[in-house]
Structure 1
Amino acid sequence: MSFLYPRLLAGQAVPLYERYQQLSVGELTKCAATRHTSAVYVATGGDRVSETKLDELRDLVVSLAEEAGFPGASDRERRAAFDRRLATAVHASMGLAPAEAAAGDIWAFVALVLLPDVSYWRYPQPPGDRVLGTDLTRHVVGRMWWRAQLIHSPDEPDPYAALNILGEDAFDRIYSRRRALGGSPYLVKTILKVWDSLDLRGLPYRETLEDFLKRLLRLAPFVLFESLPPASLEAELRAVARDTVMAVLAGLEDGRYDLSHRVDVVFGG
Structure 2
Amino acid sequence: MSRLHVYPRLPAPVAEQLLTVHTGRDLLELRTLSATADPRTTWYPTAPYRVPEDDLRALQQTVRAIATEAHWPAPLSKTSGTAFDRLLAPALYRQMTIVPADAASEEVWSFLSLVLLPDVALWRWPNPLRRPGYERIIGRPRNVFRRLWARIHSLGEDVGAQLYEDEAVAILERPTLGAHPRVARAIAHAHLTTAGEAGTARTDILRITARRLRRLAVVVSLESLDDAQLADLMRRYTKEAIDQLQSERTTSTYRPVPTQVQARSGAR
- Scaled by the length of structure 1, what TM-score is found? 0.85
Are 2:140 and 1:143 aligned?
no
- Partner SS for 2:194: coil
Q: Find out whether 1:28 has 2:26 as its counterpart.
A: no
Q: 1:71 to 1:192 in 2, by over 3 A?
A: same
Equivalent residue for 1:181? 177
- Choose from 129, 133, 141 the match for 2:135: 129
What aligned pairs does 1:225-264 form with structure 2 within 5 A after superposition? 225-253=222-250
Residue 41 of structure 2: aligned partner: 39
Trace 1:86-235 onto structure 2 (pairs within 5 A): 86-125=88-127, 127=131, 128-133=134-139, 135-136=140-141, 138-152=142-156, 160-177=157-174, 179-199=175-195, 200-235=197-232
Distance 2:236 2:127 in 1: 44
Match of 2:266 in 1: none
Separation of aligned partners in 1, 2:114 and 2:172: 24
CA 1:249–1:76 in structure 2 vs 1: closer, same or farther (change >3 Å)?
A: closer
Instruction: Report the count of equivalent residues.
Output: 244
Return the match for 1:85 from 62, 84, 87: 87
Return the offset for 1:165.
3.0
CA displacement, residues 113-167 of structure 1 (integer Å, 9 cap, x when unaligned):
000111111112265111111x21x101111000110112xxxxxxx12134320
Q: What RMSD over aligned residues (CA atoms) do the two structures have, in Å?
A: 1.6
| TM-score scaled by length of structure 2 | 0.86
Q: Tell me: CA distance 1:207–1:71, structure 2 relative to 1, closer, same or farther (3 Å).
A: closer
In 2, Cα distance between equivalents of 1:67 and 1:109: 24
Q: Name the structure 2 match of 1:265.
A: none
The answer as to whether partners of 1:2 and 1:46 remain within 8 angstroms in 2 is no
Q: Identity percentage over the alignment?
A: 32
Conservation of the 8 A alpha-carbon contact between 2:152 and 2:161: no
User: Unmatched 5+ residue regions in structure 2?
Assistant: 252-268
Deviation at 1:244, TM superposition (A): 2.2
Q: CA deviation at 1:62?
A: 0.4
Mapped partners of 1:21, 1:248: distance in 2: 41
Does the 8 Å contact 2:86/2:162 carry over to 1?
Answer: no
Q: 2:231 and 2:82 mapped to 1: Cα distance?
A: 28
Segments of 5+ residues of structure 1 without an aligned counterpart are 153-159, 255-269
Structure exhibiting the larger radius of gyration computed from Cα positions: 2
Aligned match of 2:6: 4
